[in-house]
A = this chain, B = another copy of it.
Amino acid sequence: MTAVSPRPATATLLDRFREVRARTDRLTRDLSPEDQTPQSMTEASPAKWHRAHTTWFFEEFVLAADPGYRPRDPAFRFLFNSYYEAVGERHPRHARGQVTRPGVAEVAAYREDVETQVADRLAAGTLDEDALALVELGCHHEEQHQELLLMDLKHLLSGNVVQPVYVERASDLDPDAAPVPLRWTHLPGGLTEIGDAGAGFAYDNERPRHRTWLEDVDVAARQVTNAEWLEFVADGGYRRPELWLSDGWAAVQQHGWSAPAYWRHDEDDGWTTFTLSGRRPLVAAEPVCHVSFLEADAFARWAGHRLPTEQEWEAHASSGHEVHGGLLDPERCHPGVAGEVTLGEVWEWTASAYLPYPGFEIAEGAVGEYNGKFMNDQHVLRGAAAITPASHARVTYRNFFPAASRWAFSGLRLAR
């Protein structure tokens, strides 16, 4: 992963660092030690682990670069490394939920200790350009984990029969209100440029900005809604093999999919979905959420359209046309991050596999493991979700998950 120039002034970076760290603390403030300990599946991690791992990143790449630095605890390097092979051996990923020590209080102390040391160095102006770039990278890294933390928490809590509430929500939209009608935006084809142009922070995988050829395309002005997905379900969408990719049909049969993740239908309550505010009635006008790429692809085929490529998506998002979610209720998913979302309410699956851009270069050293090594059998999502930190959302951002993943806040937008 490479950092950009010009670099923001050190004073600003200190503010940003403090702000990002404080947000993580706000997100976990109301979670008990019990809530922060388990891991509900291999792909997810405990909240406690996210808090420690994001701290480890600053310790490993910023503080430990100083040869005189003495690690707070050598075990943390083993426990809280995620996948950086270059840094050394690490605790097995599937067993993160079994690390009961250090506990939540020790992790909080670890956070505070590392945070103070980084902040001191930032305030004193003793960090060199490389270290400053790594602090900035660490802030973005922590924002990414803030979203993962909420995804993982939702997955964990959803399995509890009491369907717990993470954050109270005052009111709900009318479940039966009509969605915004579907309109299409026409984009004329031609040679265009996509990718990060270098003016602000971006991950390595958003670079280099490069030329690409697009044909004419229409892109939907809003995301697919729950109302439309209910039509798909009612039309036998999950029972018709001809609508599905081969892997999709296999997943339907293997996992018994018959609706998006967290949806449930029973006689008393009709359709409901599990949210970070507990189980709630399904709101027809909201963007559909927690569908896999395989489902998004089948839906698009059923609708007689297709998913946009990520090139089309970025051209559309950069075009000045209105680009939004369904009902635009930023409180919907997580009130605690209200008002921060600008690009849409759910991530949008694209037709594109996650591959390097032409001319892509991997950064030197361990941070270079960041993005490039996942470029196999993953699919690109674009935009952002209601739980994405506003400062982490940008038009060139490339999110990615395997085709069958459903625990991200993932929906779709159609193209034709």
Contact = CB atoms under 8 A, between A and B. Distances in A.
Interface of A: 32-38, 40, 48, 75, 78-79, 83, 85-86, 91, 95, 97-101, 103-104, 156-157, 159-162, 164, 191, 210-213, 215, 241-242, 244-249, 293-294, 297, 351-353, 355-356, 358-359, 369, 373-377, 403
B75 A162 contact: yes
Give chain A's interface secondary structure class.
mixed
Contact of A353 (B213, B247, B353): B353
Contacts of A403: 376-377
Given A210-B215, A248-B376, A376-B246, A160 B191 contact: no
A40 B97 CA distance: 9
Nearest to A78: B161
Contacts of A32: 33, 100-101, 103
Given A33-B34, A34-B103, 11 more contacts: A34-B36, A35-B101, A37-B38, A78-B161, A97-B97, A98-B159, A101-B160, A101-B162, A213-B213, A245-B375, A351-B356
B377 A98 contact: no
A25 to B, nearest CB: 18
Contacts of A79: 161
Given A34-B104, A100-B35, A100-B37, A247 B210 contact: no
A156 B98 contact: yes
Contacts of A369: 242
Given A85-B249, A210-B215, A376-B247, A160 B100 contact: yes
Contact of A91 (B101, B161, B359): B161
B75 A48 contact: no
A104 B242 CA distance: 33
18 contacts: A33-B37, A34-B34, A34-B36, A35-B103, A40-B98, A83-B246, A99-B160, A101-B164, A242-B369, A244-B373, A245-B373, A245-B374, A246-B374, A248-B376, A293-B376, A353-B353, A377-B377, A377-B403
A86 B159 contact: no
Contacts of A48: 34
Contacts of A99: 160
Contacts of A294: 376
A95 B159 contact: yes
A129 to B, nearest CB: 24
Nearest to A240: B85
B351 A355 contact: yes
Contacts of A191: 191, 213
Contacts of A359: 215
Given A34-B48, A37-B38, A377-B403, A242 B101 contact: no
Nearest to A48: B34
A248 B83 CA distance: 14
A100 B376 contact: no
A103 B104 CA distance: 14
Contacts of A244: 373
Given A210-B215, A247-B377, A294-B376, A75 B161 contact: yes
Contact of A100 (B38, B86, B98, B211): B38
Contacts of A78: 161
Contacts of A104: 33-34
A91 B161 CA distance: 8
Counting chain B CB atoms within 10 Å of each CB, the highest count among A293, A353, A403 belongs to A353
B160 A98 contact: yes
A97 B98 CA distance: 9
Contacts of A33: 32-34, 37, 103-104
